[in-house]
């Protein structure tokens, strides 16, 4: 197995919050009585929720609980049955270029080299921009490679660089590290935290892994039976989380109980 060799520096800065989050380009996301049903089956049954600009939110819940449905609504890939989703106060309709998605699979174009995969949006200066983002994700020297020679973790880094190329205000992450081994996952956690601070987007991470949620997020939402069953602030500095404090264990237990 190929494991990314380039370690991500684990630079610890004060945790960014909604108030001082990153570069401040994040967008606020608000749900106002949002429901979603497929036929008779109500998947989301009334979400009222505000996610401040620049916040890092994790969404956990049982399989089939509506997490991916929620992502698709935010991304504009599907419409709510009722209620409104607002981005910076404006009701969202259809696809929005300010919102980007990262999936469990990197979904790179196999017939394009790494640099072209990142610079998919093209436009003036795209090569320099794509190259700079590759450097940011630790793949500066892989620009000329074909996707098939990369490891799973490296592919996800390329996908992350590609998602950032348009400087999205909201980044949706649907189990992006689910298929990676533990060491690569830990590297990706550090990388994601770093780019989130650097770029300032609002991050919404879907995960089955409560430990991952409390390691990365400012706030964890538990989605159960189509509503937010718990909304937990992770009030522990990020640099204290890896060590595992009693408070962190307590929050993890609370989330697991709510799930």
- Residues that bind ligand ATP in the complex, under the rule CB under 6 A: 38, 43, 61, 63-69
DSSP H or E stretch at residue 256: helix 246-258
User: Residue 106 Cβ, how far from ligand ATP at the closest point, in Å?
Assistant: 18
* CB of 22 or CB of 66, closer to ligand ATP: 66
Compare residues 78 and 145 and give the one whose CB is closer to ligand ATP.
Answer: 78
Tallying the residues shown for the chain, one arrives at 259
Least distance between ligand ATP and beta carbon 43 (Å): 4
Asked if residue 97 lies in contact with residue 87, where contact means CB atoms within 8 angstroms, the answer is no
Residue 206 pairs in a beta bridge with 59, 174
**Residue 150 Cβ, how far from ligand ATP at the closest point, in Å?**
25
| Shorter beta-carbon distance to ligand ATP: residue 225 or 235 | 225
Shortest distance, position 82 Cβ to ligand ATP, whole Å? 16
Closest distance of CB 111 from ligand ATP, Å = 29
Nearer to ligand ATP, 61 or 138 (CB): 61
Q: Is residue 10 a contact partner of residue 190, using CB atoms and an 8 Å limit?
A: yes
By beta-carbon proximity to ligand ATP, the closer residue of 179 and 236 is 179
Q: Closest CB to ligand ATP among 22 and 61?
A: 61
**CB 34, min distance to ligand ATP, A:** 13
């Amino acid at each position: 197995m190929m494991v990314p060799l380039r370690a991500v520096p684990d630079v610890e800065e004060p945790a960014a919050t909604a108030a001082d989050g990153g570069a401040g380009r994040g967008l606020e996301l608000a749900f106002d009585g949002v429901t979603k049903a497929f036929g008779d089956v109500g998947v989301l049954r009334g979400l009222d929720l505000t996610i401040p600009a620049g916040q890092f939110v994790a969404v956990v819940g049982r399989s089939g609980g509506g997490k991916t449905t929620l992502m698709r609504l935010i991304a504009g890939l599907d419409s709510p049955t009722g209620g409104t989703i607002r981005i910076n106060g404006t009701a969202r309709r259809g696809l929005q270029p300010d919102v980007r998605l990262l999936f469990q699979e990197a979904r790179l174009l196999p017939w394009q080299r790494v640099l072209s995969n990142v610079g998919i949006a093209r436009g003036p200066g795209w090569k320099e921009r794509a190259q700079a983002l590759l450097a940011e994700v630790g793949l500066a020297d892989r620009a000329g490679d074909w996707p098939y020679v990369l490891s799973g973790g490296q592919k996800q880094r390329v996908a992350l660089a590609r998602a950032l190329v348009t400087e999205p205000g909201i980044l949706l992450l649907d189990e992006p590290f689910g298929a990676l081994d533990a060491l690569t996952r830990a590297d990706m956690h550090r990388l994601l935290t770093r780019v989130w601070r650097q770029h300032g987007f609002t991050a919404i991470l879907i995960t089955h892994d409560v430990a991952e949620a409390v390691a990365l997020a400012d706030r964890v939402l538990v989605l159960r039976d189509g509503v937010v069953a718990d909304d937990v602030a992770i009030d522990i500095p990020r640099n204290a989380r890896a060590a595992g404090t009693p408070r962190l264990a307590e929050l993890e237990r609370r989330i697991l109980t709510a799930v």
